[in-house]
Amino acid sequence: MQDKATRVKVSELPGPNGTPITVLRFSGDITSASKDAVLGTYQSLPPGAKRILLDFSNVEYLNSSGIALVIQMLMQAGKAGQSIQSFGLSPHFQKVFTMVGITNYTKLHPDEAAACAAFD
Amino acid sequence: MEANNSSTVELRLPSRLGYEKVAMNTAASVARLMGFSEDRIEDLKTAVAEACINSMEHGHKLDESLKVEVILSITDNSLEVKVCDEGPGVQGKVPVPNLELKMSGEESPRGMGMFLIKSLVDEAEWISSGPNGSCARLVIHLHKPEEE
């Protein structure tokens, strides 16, 4: 048995004031096996990407090792002065993210429109 | 999956990441049969998965020849899940993750499993049996004690 591979689709949306939003849409599992998919994809974004939207809508399984990768991504984004908004987490994982304190570093929004509107 | 009697289900899993989902989904099925709400079942799934991952990674160092034993015991009001391995077990208190230290790089981004387990179930303890290995024991109650 293997984890369902993490897939990340990168796209761009127009931001509220014309600055584009880079969207990372995750699907499958996010576990310790997802380092290349999560951090590799994040690190391959162009340096000009200052607004990043994380879409967890199609994530099927997320564990603490996967959450650690999200934390590492947020650490690197903080150092790069990037703003990150998130949406699509189930109520359970919204609770888990809140429990471990991730919500101090990215806001969890109910949907994509609310998340996009939250960028300054 | 082996059902010894109406109140116990036992699993033996190889110490290979991914197999924790077998325990997680079995625990969810049992909890659903018992009438637990979906939000409690989600809590249990995460707790059981994290306990299994701890056993595989820390107890057995991912040695696939070593089996993680998962024993689900059902009573009228509660579901107990024991996750056992051959490792020495947990020493000391359950660490509370400090995200500020993690974000600053002073603490590993990992190390949240036990904290999540403790936060998501009604009872959690780690029992070390010396050379015989150790178990994580998790319990969720259908009705919280104060509701009885």
Tell me the DSSP string of A39-91.
IIHHHTS-TT--EEEEEEEEEEEE-HHHHHHHHHHHHHHHHTT-EEEEE---H
Q: Could you give phi then psi for residue B39, rounded to 5 degrees?
A: -70, -35
Q: How many CB pairs under 8 A join A and B?
A: 69
Residue B117 or B101, more confident: B117
- The confidence score (pLDDT) of residue B106 equals 77
Residue B5's pLDDT band, with cuts at 50, 70 and 90, is: very low
Span B32-53, average pLDDT: 97
Q: Which residue of A has its CA nearest to B13?
A: A1
Q: Which of B18, B50, B99 sits opposite A3 (nearest CB)?
A: B18
Q: How far is CA A82 from CA A23, B101, B117, in A?
A: 13, 19, 32
- The confidence score (pLDDT) of residue A3 equals 62
Q: What is the pLDDT of residues A37-69, one digit of tens each?
A: 999 999 999 988 999 999 999 999 999 999 999
Contact yes or no for B39 and A92 at CB 8 A: yes
According to the per-residue pLDDT averaged within each range, which of A47-51, B34-38, B141-145 is highest? B34-38
Give the integer Cα–Cα distance in Å for A25 and A53. Answer: 8
CB A20 within 8 A of CB A116: no
Contact yes or no for B109 and A63 at CB 8 A: no
Q: Which residue of A has its CA nearest to B14?
A: A1
Q: Which of B20, B99, B104 sits opposite A100 (nearest CB)?
A: B99
Interface of A with B in 23-62 (CB under 8 A): 31-33, 61
- The confidence score (pLDDT) of residue B90 equals 78
Interface of A with B in 6-25 (CB under 8 A): none
Contact yes or no for B112 and A91 at CB 8 A: no
Q: What is the pLDDT of residues B56-110, one digit of tens each?
A: 999 999 999 999 999 999 999 999 999 999 988 877 677 777 777 777 777 777 7
